[in-house]
Structure 1
Amino acid sequence: MRRSSVFYAVGAFIALLVLATAAALFMTTHKPAPPPVVVGGDTPEQSVQQSLALIKVGDFAGFWKHALPPADYETLRSDWTRPRPDDHPLSPEDRADFVKNMQQLTEPDAEAKLFALAKPKLAQLKAQYQDQVPVMIGIFQAIAATGVAQSKDLTNAQKQQATAVINVLAPWAQNVPWFDQNRAKQAIGVAVATARKLDLKTPEQLKAMDFDTAMQKYSAGFLGIKQALAIYGLSVDDIFDSVKVTTLESRNGHAQVRIDYTLLGKPLSTESELIQQDGRWYSADMLQNVHQAHERLLAPAPAESAPAPASTSAPIQAMAPTPPVRH
């Protein structure tokens, strides 16, 4: 997970025309108590359930401690501060944009000032594009479905699962009142509240954060995205609350589980493989991704960088963070 990705989402305080709405970020003032963290699971079902419970409340530090064997968890923490051979400095323009966005989101009366700017723009966009939004989203849906179908990194089962999610999100996105000024005002409010909570003034602060601090920032971002999506009718908590985990097969330290869940009223499912280490159960994909991230970090920089392998996580697992290596 790139460190900068969460915080640039703050700057994009009202992204209205994408399926995977990276809406404004917000730290809720009342968080449920996080579940107790244990390493791995006694059973495959418990391992998955605990992971989802930790993600639901935005406890990413606890998630990684639970999701990885102790040695891999310590490796992940150590890798966080390692310099990356493929790390590139921000351009002066990108840095200036970051600083400007954070200043606008944290200055006095930021909510009123930003909404004053957004209000006429929303009215203009509504007049120009209201009727075109469903068509545009339909185009995005077709592009996304084609990308999934042509992916060489997804199995056939994963392609079916991803396509099912796209087919549920697209009709929702086509009917969301993206240009509604009341909702936009709420979204701006959560963006401002989060920016103040994050207290980031420069992108250099992102690189200087240790693992624990970074996980706190990710938590703020994730909880804010949940609240912003809820403003537009998509409850992430409802998805988590609907999850049911069933073991399909378990033998010789390997297990296959089915994860049933409901997305916007539509029943969906995905499957996950788990492996047993020292009597505890862990996600096989998660361990593989963490090992690959560590190997890439230690590998000598090639003359020409090859693209990193894409994650093959299933749709519901997309809510889980990818191994956070430093950027």
Structure 2
Amino acid sequence: MLSRLPICRWILLALPLCSLLALAACKQQPAEPAESASGPAAAVQQLIHRLRDNDLVGFAQAAVPPAEYAQLEIAWREGRSRWPLTELPLDDQLEALLSALAAPDSERTLQQGFKRNFANQDKDLKDAARSLGLFGVQYVKREGVYTDEERAHYAQLIAALSEWAQRAPLSDPRRGMAAIPPLVAAARKTGLTDEKSFREAGMTGSLRRLSPFFAQAKTLLASYGLSLDRSFSELRTVLVEQKGDQARVRVHYPLGDREIDTVVSLQRRAGRWYLTDYLRHAEQALAIPAEEEAPESQIGPDTQAPPPAS
């Protein structure tokens, strides 16, 4: 039950949202070539604009070529992929989170749990945030599944979130009690509470349903002093290097009281630029074999053919 989750889970709820900014590593480069409106830096900005607008479908369509998007839709319905949700550090907890929020009488249950476990526990929450930050930074630096660029960037994200959580009024009873009903309502509206509902909605349908929940989560974080829309709006990109169909773009954005500084790698395919890490993760998702007796994919009411990313 969500009310019994350790406080680190509550703090880490911010990380999946912030990780949508996770675009690679931190390096200094002297050269800053000029860049066109359709170049690599513009491709990064396009992704961020979709997030600022709470357009998760548009984000996914801009993150991979159309052919891969169609394959990912099929893999989603076959239960082989949950990309782009797998870009999130707690992707395996999202279904349980939505289910707990959407459960009958969850407002009362969660509010009681907040009173019992978190209300007025300011010192304990600050200590937990500090410890989580230290542990998280060490974890991503050691974990072998991340690239060097991802490790460098995630370490910055975790440090910034830890600092924010140590200052945020997470134990404020009034704020905590008021935050729960809107999040519960948004979770219920998704209709996504189990594996079957995600499969039937498909990737496009699930992302469309999750977009209002994403918007409500951003509103909640902003009420605690962490404005992701500020991060999105103030994000700056500069082309560092372009060699043929390979490029690197430097990205700066504020997160809490920190300035995140990172460099991302991109590849050009069929005249369009895509983040290398997103392409790699999507390809890994598609490489997962289908179950021997997986049900035949069926197209549901929430699915439509994805238009080319603009």
Q: TM-score, normalised by structure 1?
A: 0.68
CA pair 168-243 structure 1, distance change in 2 beyond 3 A: same
CA pair 295-135 structure 1, distance change in 2 beyond 3 A: same
Secondary structure of 1:159 counterpart: helix
1:75 aligns with 2:68: no
- The answer for the alignment partner of 1:103 in structure 2 is 104
Task: Give the AA of the match of 2:282.
Answer: V
1:284-303 to structure 2, matched below 5 A, reads 284-298=276-290
1:50 aligns with 2:36: no
Query: How far is the alpha carbon of 1:46 from its aligned partner?
Result: 1.3
CA pair 195-298 structure 1, distance change in 2 beyond 3 A: closer
| Deviations 1:275-304 (CA, angstroms, capped at 9, x unpaired) | 112221111211111111111134989xxx
- The answer for the alignment partner of 1:176 in structure 2 is 168
| Deviations 1:108-159 (CA, angstroms, capped at 9, x unpaired) | xxx5x457635xx5266446x4323222222212211221221223344443
Distance, in Å, in 2 between the alignment partners of 1:277 and 1:299 is 30
Choose from 180, 184, 187 the match for 1:188. 180
Secondary structure of 1:238 counterpart: helix
Q: Considering only aligned residues, what root-mean-square deviation do their CA atoms show, in Å?
A: 3.3
Distance, in Å, in 1 between the alignment partners of 2:101 and 2:184 is 13
Query: How far is the alpha carbon of 1:51 from its aligned partner?
Result: 0.8
- The answer for the alignment partner of 2:112 in structure 1 is 117
Task: Give the AA of the match of 1:262.
Answer: P
Task: Give the AA of the match of 2:105.
Answer: Q
* Percent of residue pairs bearing the same amino acid type: 24
Distance, in Å, in 2 between the alignment partners of 1:207 and 1:236 is 29
Distance, in Å, in 2 between the alignment partners of 1:124 and 1:225 is 21
CA pair 65-166 structure 1, distance change in 2 beyond 3 A: closer
Distance, in Å, in 1 between the alignment partners of 2:78 and 2:119 is 47
Query: How far is the alpha carbon of 1:176 from its aligned partner?
Result: 1.8
| Deviations 1:157-191 (CA, angstroms, capped at 9, x unpaired) | 44333222222221221122222122112211212
- The answer for the alignment partner of 2:241 in structure 1 is 249
Choose from 160, 164, 180 the match for 2:156. 164
1:59 aligns with 2:51: no
Secondary structure of 1:256 counterpart: strand
Task: Give the AA of the match of 1:57.
Answer: D
Distance, in Å, in 2 between the alignment partners of 1:42 and 1:269 is 23
Task: Give the AA of the match of 2:265.
Answer: E
Distance, in Å, in 2 between the alignment partners of 1:201 and 1:125 is 25
CA pair 275-115 structure 1, distance change in 2 beyond 3 A: closer
Task: Give the AA of the match of 1:264.
Answer: G
Task: Give the AA of the match of 1:198.
Answer: T
Distance, in Å, in 1 between the alignment partners of 2:160 and 2:101 is 36
Task: Give the AA of the match of 1:215.
Answer: L
Query: How far is the alpha carbon of 1:17 from its aligned partner?
Result: 4.0
1:136 aligns with 2:128: yes
Q: Any unmatched runs of 5+ in structure 2?
A: 18-36, 82-94, 294-310
| Deviations 1:20-43 (CA, angstroms, capped at 9, x unpaired) | 2359x9xxxxxxxxxxxxxxx821
Q: Any unmatched runs of 5+ in structure 1?
A: 1-7, 26-40, 86-93, 106-110, 302-327
Distance, in Å, in 2 between the alignment partners of 1:288 and 1:58 is 24
Conservation of the 8 A alpha-carbon contact between 1:256 and 1:272: yes
Distance, in Å, in 2 between the alignment partners of 1:148 and 1:203 is 28
1:274-285 to structure 2, matched below 5 A, reads 274-285=266-277
Secondary structure of 2:250 counterpart: strand
Aligned length: 258
1:5-20 to structure 2, matched below 5 A, reads 16-18=7-9, 19-20=11-12
Conservation of the 8 A alpha-carbon contact between 2:47 and 2:59: yes
Query: How far is the alpha carbon of 1:233 from its aligned partner?
Result: 1.1
Secondary structure of 1:270 counterpart: strand
